[in-house]
Chain A
Amino acid sequence: MAETKPVLMQGNEACAMGAISAGVRFYAGYPITPSTEVAEIMAAKLPEIGGVFIQMEDEIASMAAVIGASIGGMRTLTATSGPGFSLKQENLGYAIMAEIPCVVVNVQRMGPSTGVPTAPAQGDVMQARWGTHGDHPIIVFSPSSVYETYYLTIAAVNLSQKLRQPVIMLLDEVIGHMREKVFIPEAGKLLVEKSSDQIPSDWKPYDEKGLTPLVPFGFGHYYHVTGLFHDQYGFPTGDPPHVERALDRLHAKLEKYRDEIVLTNYIGHKEPRVAIVAYGCTVRSARSVVKKAYWQDRLPVGLLSLQTIWPFPAREIEALAKQADVIIVPEMNMGQLVGEVERYVCGQAKVVPLNRYDGEMITPDQISELIGRWLS
């Protein structure tokens, strides 16, 4: 991919620019720290390129407006932080059920409740998975740099369109506000997946046979969109076998495209004695430790960083558990994803949580001290 010279930008800006690069032309949102910059950039940029920015009356309405615009055929994004993310859950569930693409950005801050608006945290990992009610599938990306934020936002928009599935960008205050270089590709060089404009003659909005593109309203395909369980044409049904099939179908979409959705990266020793599993800003501290310990000191350590946290990278964790004796899971919460790691490690390695929840980042020293303890 041809890239131009690097641009220095903030994580929130990278998110907004990534969205615009991926064709997002509609933003609805409500002001909240620490995600407000996303809205401000969208408010400045979208009108210049013929897009729509609207500040809604609340977070619930922002989520609803985004879904409405998606049904109209636009690529859409909304951004918020913890308290706002709580409010968005209702309509997020609707978008999952009705299979309406959209990207929801949550720049996490310290909670619960209003918490510490300006302090970083990773406390919304489980909320991102299970925040809306019911047995729903979800895709959640967790970037660890400004550069990753830019590219994962593009991936989020593409996947959301392709799978007709909401995608969540789970940033944290550190990533959202830090400045780093991003290589912005030249115009036309970016991998933006176009939605198909070919509508098959037997098009059904919710075809049981598999994915069909969303045909926007206003083009003579008269179908129904609802949050109720529905048949292939979108009409409500409460028929038990139908309901079960419809729910299986929602999950099957993600399973089928699992390899495109689940993104991870491993660095370090092939057969590490101590491995770290990290995501989001915590990857940064972990990476600096592993780089030094492995490349400089040749210690048997490794780092599996998760760009995708949901669906959970179960296979990657299972593979790691076969190699490592100890798996350290640093998280800026009281231990959320670690439970999932334990589930797939399944006793094959020792899982050690490293938690910090005082509104400060986990430092490289904290990680290297723990590694040292387990190596000796």
Chain B
Amino acid sequence: MQLTQDFLRTKKLPHIWCPGCGNGIVTAALVRAIERAGYDQREVVIVSGIGCSSRAAGYLNFNTLHTTHGRALAFATGLKMARPELTLFVIMGDGDCSAIGGNHFIHSARRNIDLNAIVVNNHIYGMTGGQHSPLTPTGMKATTAPGGTLERAFDLLELAKGAGATFGARGNAAQPRQLEQLITRAAKHKGFSVVEALSPCPIAYGRRNKLGGAVEMLKGMKESSVAVERAAEMDEADLEGKTLNGVLFSIDAPEFSSEYHRMIKKDHG
């Protein structure tokens, strides 16, 4: 499917991403999802943090808000509370969202505010050249963990769920169609939605960890991912080293911005 030119700032292209980077695939999936869901261009806002993937905001032809490192969800919370009729997609990287932005992430989940967090997880800080993040798997190498990181990684979706998020899904750049569908479902869900999009960073992560180039990394991603529906029929041994893919949870619960505005209408008389 052709991308709608209207939703892209074609004059701002080519983008700054390295060859083989997954950011372009994830961004394209987001644009298709917005299109497929049938949103009016004016009601969509793209908010992003700081990092490679967050630069996507500059290439998308909506009202776009490129914020400070880790704070995208906090900016988005203010905007959503001021203008609950807008649909917000919040693009963050793994370090951006789960390290420096971890507090805003869990509290957005707790409030169950209707924001769509798209977390582009490449397991590394790409823009600064390859430092480990809270989503770098144990043992993987980074410039700040030359012998492999000893730290354990978050399971981002478990974290989100535990904190109160009501929709969580995982997709990857190797399966862009599915990713697009997951983003569409997240957008339609009323409440705090998280889509973790696994994405290759061949330059700052793949090379150091001998995962090959973009093609090998995408292949690896596809091979290690298992759809949640299928995983239900598999035993633990088969699931060893696999990543679950698809909608991991979708829960109905009161959404904060609409609850708040209902409350003030009542007070208002």
- Residues of A near any B CB (own CB < 8 A): 26, 28, 47-52, 54, 56-58, 60-62, 64-74, 76, 90-91, 94, 216-228, 235-236
B contact face: mostly helix, strand, loop, or mixed: helix
Q: A57-B104, A64-B68, A94-B67 are in contact. Are A226 and B58 (CB under 8 A)?
A: yes
Give the nearest-CB partner of B7 in chain A: A222
In the complex, which residues of chain B have a beta carbon less than 8 angstroms from the beta carbon of A65? 74-75, 77-78, 81
In the complex, which residues of chain B have a beta carbon less than 8 angstroms from the beta carbon of A61? 71, 74, 77, 103-104, 107
Cβ of B138 within 8 Å of any chain A Cβ, yes or no, is no
| Complex contact B63–A64 (CB within 8 A) | no
Cβ of B210 within 8 Å of any chain A Cβ, yes or no, is no
Q: A57-B107, A61-B104, A217-B83 are in contact. Are A226 and B66 (CB under 8 A)?
A: yes
In the complex, which residues of chain B have a beta carbon less than 8 angstroms from the beta carbon of A224? 57-58, 64-66
Cβ of B182 within 8 Å of any chain A Cβ, yes or no, is no
| Complex contact A68–B41 (CB within 8 A) | no
Give the nearest-CB partner of A220 in chain B: B42
Contact of A52 among B82, B103, B268 (CB under 8 A): B82
Q: How far is the CA of A217 from the CA of B81 in the complex (A)?
A: 13
| Complex contact B65–A68 (CB within 8 A) | yes
Contact of B75 among A68, A76, A219, A228 (CB under 8 A): A68
Cβ of B236 within 8 Å of any chain A Cβ, yes or no, is no
- Residues of B near any A CB (own CB < 8 A): 12, 41-43, 45, 47, 57-58, 61-68, 71, 74-83, 85-86, 103-104, 107, 260, 263-264, 267-268
Q: How far is the CA of A155 from the CA of B66 in the complex (A)?
A: 29
Closest chain-A Cβ to B163's Cβ sits at a distance in Å of 11
A–B Cβ pairs within 8 angstroms, 19 of them: A51-B264, A54-B81, A64-B77, A65-B77, A65-B81, A68-B81, A69-B79, A69-B82, A70-B78, A70-B82, A71-B65, A90-B68, A90-B71, A217-B65, A218-B43, A219-B42, A222-B62, A222-B63, A222-B64
| Complex contact A50–B264 (CB within 8 A) | yes
Closest chain-A Cβ to B21's Cβ sits at a distance in Å of 18
Closest chain-B Cβ to A97's Cβ sits at a distance in Å of 10
Q: What are the nearest 10 A-B pairs in CB distance?
A: A68-B78, A65-B78, A72-B82, A64-B74, A68-B79, A61-B74, A217-B63, A69-B82, A57-B107, A226-B66
In the complex, which residues of chain A have a beta carbon less than 8 angstroms from the beta carbon of B67? 64, 94, 227
| Complex contact B260–A52 (CB within 8 A) | yes
| Complex contact A68–B63 (CB within 8 A) | no
Give the nearest-CB partner of A28 in chain B: B78
Contact of A218 among B47, B63, B64, B66 (CB under 8 A): B63
A-B contact count (CB 8 A): 136
Q: A60-B71, A61-B104, A222-B41 are in contact. Are A228 and B66 (CB under 8 A)?
A: yes
Contact of B68 among A74, A221, A227 (CB under 8 A): A227
Which of A47, A58, A218 has the most chain B CB atoms closer than 10 A to its own CB?
A: A218
In the complex, which residues of chain A have a beta carbon less than 8 angstroms from the beta carbon of B76? 68
| Complex contact B65–A225 (CB within 8 A) | yes
Q: How far is the CA of A217 from the CA of B61 in the complex (A)?
A: 12
Q: How far is the CA of A225 from the CA of B86 in the complex (A)?
A: 17
In the complex, which residues of chain B have a beta carbon less than 8 angstroms from the beta carbon of A54? 77-78, 81, 260
Give the nearest-CB partner of A223 in chain B: B63
Contact of A72 among B71, B83, B263 (CB under 8 A): B83
Closest chain-A Cβ to B101's Cβ sits at a distance in Å of 10
In the complex, which residues of chain B have a beta carbon less than 8 angstroms from the beta carbon of A56? 74, 77, 107
In the complex, which residues of chain A have a beta carbon less than 8 angstroms from the beta carbon of B74? 56-57, 60-62, 64-65, 68
Q: A65-B74, A222-B63 are in contact. Are A50 and B268 (CB under 8 A)?
A: yes
Q: How far is the CA of A91 from the CA of B49 in the complex (A)?
A: 12
In the complex, which residues of chain B have a beta carbon less than 8 angstroms from the beta carbon of A225? 64-66
| Complex contact A69–B104 (CB within 8 A) | no
Contact of A68 among B42, B43, B66, B82 (CB under 8 A): B82
Q: How far is the CA of A52 from the CA of B265 in the complex (A)?
A: 11
Give the nearest-CB partner of A54 in chain B: B81
In the complex, which residues of chain A have a beta carbon less than 8 angstroms from the beta carbon of B83? 72-73, 216-218
